[in-house]
Amino acid sequence: MAKAFTALTIKSLKTEGYHRDRGDGAARGLYVQVRSSEGGFTRSWLYRYKSPLTYKERWMGLGACDVIPLAEARELARSARRLVTLGADPIEKRRKTLQAEREALIRDKASRMTFRQCADAYASAHLAKHRSDTHRHQWRISLKLASDAFDDLSVGKIDTAMITKFLDPIWRKTASTASRHRGRVEAVLDWATVHKFREGDNPARWKGHLEHVFAAKPKPEHHAAMPFAEVPDFLSKVQNCGADVRASALEFTILTAARRGEAVNARWDEIDFDKKLWTIPAERMKAGIEHTVPLSNRAVAILKALSRVSDYVFANADGKRIPETSLRKVLVKINDSVSLHGFRSSFRDWAGERTNFDRETIEHALAHQLQDAVEAAYRRGTAIEKRRRLMQSWADYCADNLEEIRDNVTPIRA
């Protein structure tokens, strides 16, 4: 009869393979697995058994021999054998135990995770995808207001009553603002659920939930557009603002029919004065596609009149890019009833009603995504020359004075 293992005999095992522990004091099914390595040999404990669930042979690792001593390995093997006798699979039992311990750790961590911490983590991971500085700023305001409202409460304890208490005073004052806050809070709570910091339904969800709490979901606000007949007079007032880089940026934005963020973030290396082109990189475009804008003579003149104090086209004397909100400040001094984005609609209305340019060219000038397959194929071509004539026509129209426009209007008689 072979002798049972001792600490000394285990260290002397140098034959690769499985070596069974034998003897009166041994636990049935206990083995030492020997493997060769660069430094010599490695030895680890294994327990061999037939699963009472599948009736298949299984090998359960019990740890390295130099970490688990012989007496402890035998006790582990006896415990595993007892489970098999009782009809349980020791490997599955251990897996479930470890899973339960991991879940307990996650729950413990979640109980200490506040909404503010989740909001900060969400902002770090997701706000960079927004190309607009203004948009990112608005998100941060919403998340700060919500974080202050929920204080240092665990994110898992935020419920519908707390969401309602936070949103109600804002909703009563400006429903559209409250709706945006709600959507951003919902996104953070969804993020927290995915990362297992909270469980259950999202208390900030609108459909089928908060829509029954608040009176009505606000309708989307459309950007107020200035009638295109008023644009020339408006731009003449902008030009009277003097040597103000903000006014120059506002006029340039209107003449190029660009979005505010695209224009304010323009850089000198995007401008080709020889070809009179402005190429906006894909990462700054709403559609994520590089867009080339033909520059009218007036747009080029605006650029050439600026001082190059930094890489940004529209920069203050200290070289810092002007903020996106600064264009709005110039706008409201002249007309506070329209939005800057609305001038894109003014351009679209003018081009559709006063010119013979085809729809594809006009939509391309606005960098709109085209859904139709034929239009998409057309979009792949830049149609620069068509758009060059379109943008120059827009600039020429904007340069007309108001009296000339009025002279072309036929009064309606009774």
Q: What is the pLDDT of residues 128-154, one digit of tens each?
A: 777 667 788 889 999 999 999 998 888
What is the spatial distance between Cα 412 and Cα 414, in angstroms, rounded to a whole number?
7
| Domain-embedded: residue 218 | no
Of 109, 126, 153, the domain-final residue: 109
| Domain-embedded: residue 194 | yes
Would you call 32 helix, strand, or coil by DSSP? Answer: strand
| Domain-embedded: residue 154 | yes
Quick one: pLDDT at residue 283?
Answer: 83
CATH of residue 306: 1.10.443.10
CATH of residue 37: 3.30.160.390
β-partners of residue 37 are: 40
Of 45, 77, 109, the domain-final residue: 109
Domain shared by 121 and 190, yes or no: yes
Per-residue tokens: 184: 């951003």
Quick one: pLDDT at residue 25?
Answer: 59
Q: Report pTM.
A: 0.55
Domain shared by 105 and 159, yes or no: no
What is the spatial distance between Cα 403 and Cα 178, in angstroms, rounded to a whole number?
44
Domain shared by 187 and 256, yes or no: no
CB atoms within 10 A of CB 281: 13
> What are the distances in angstroms from CA 8 to CA 19, 20, 41, 46, 73?
14, 15, 15, 18, 15
| Domain-embedded: residue 369 | yes
In terms of DSSP bridges, do strands 30-37 and 271-272 run parallel, antiparallel, or are they unpaired?
unpaired
| Domain-embedded: residue 1 | no
Quick one: pLDDT at residue 398?
Answer: 93
Domain shared by 18 and 87, yes or no: yes
Domain that holds residue 177: 115-212
Low-confidence ranges of the chain (pLDDT < 50): 1, 373, 376, 380, 402-414
Quick one: pLDDT at residue 230?
Answer: 92
Domain shared by 129 and 275, yes or no: no
Instruction: Please give the full DSSP string across 111-179, using - where no structure is assigned.
Output: HH-BHHHHHHHHHHHHGGG---HHHHHHHHHHHHHHHHHHTT-BGGG--HHHHHHHHHHHHHH-HHHHH
| Domain-embedded: residue 188 | yes
Quick one: pLDDT at residue 339?
Answer: 84
CATH of residue 187: 1.10.150.130
Domain shared by 154 and 299, yes or no: no
Quick one: pLDDT at residue 1?
Answer: 45
Q: Is residue 383 within 8 Å of 361, Cβ to Cβ?
A: yes
> What are the distances in angstroms from CA 205 to CA 14, 138, 173, 201?
64, 20, 21, 8
What is the spatial distance between Cα 263 and Cα 280, in angstroms, rounded to a whole number?
9
Domain shared by 259 and 323, yes or no: yes
Of 74, 109, 144, the domain-final residue: 109
- The number of distinct structural domains making up the chain is 3
Which DSSP category does 200 fall into?
S
Domain shared by 265 and 194, yes or no: no
| Domain-embedded: residue 219 | no
| Domain-embedded: residue 320 | yes
Q: Is residue 177 within 8 Å of 214, Cβ to Cβ?
A: no
Quick one: pLDDT at residue 49?
Answer: 94
Which DSSP category does 372 fall into?
S
Would you call 410 helix, strand, or coil by DSSP? Answer: coil
Quick one: pLDDT at residue 326?
Answer: 86
Domain shared by 235 and 381, yes or no: yes
Query: 57 φ, ψ to 5°?
Result: -70, 135
Q: Is residue 82 exposed (0-12), middle (13-18) or buried (19+ Cβ within 10 Å)?
A: exposed
Closest to 126 in 3D by CA, of 184, 53, 166, 58: 184
Domain shared by 133 and 165, yes or no: yes
What is the spatial distance between Cα 348 and Cα 228, in angstroms, rounded to a whole number?
9
Domain shared by 159 and 254, yes or no: no
Domain shared by 94 and 130, yes or no: no
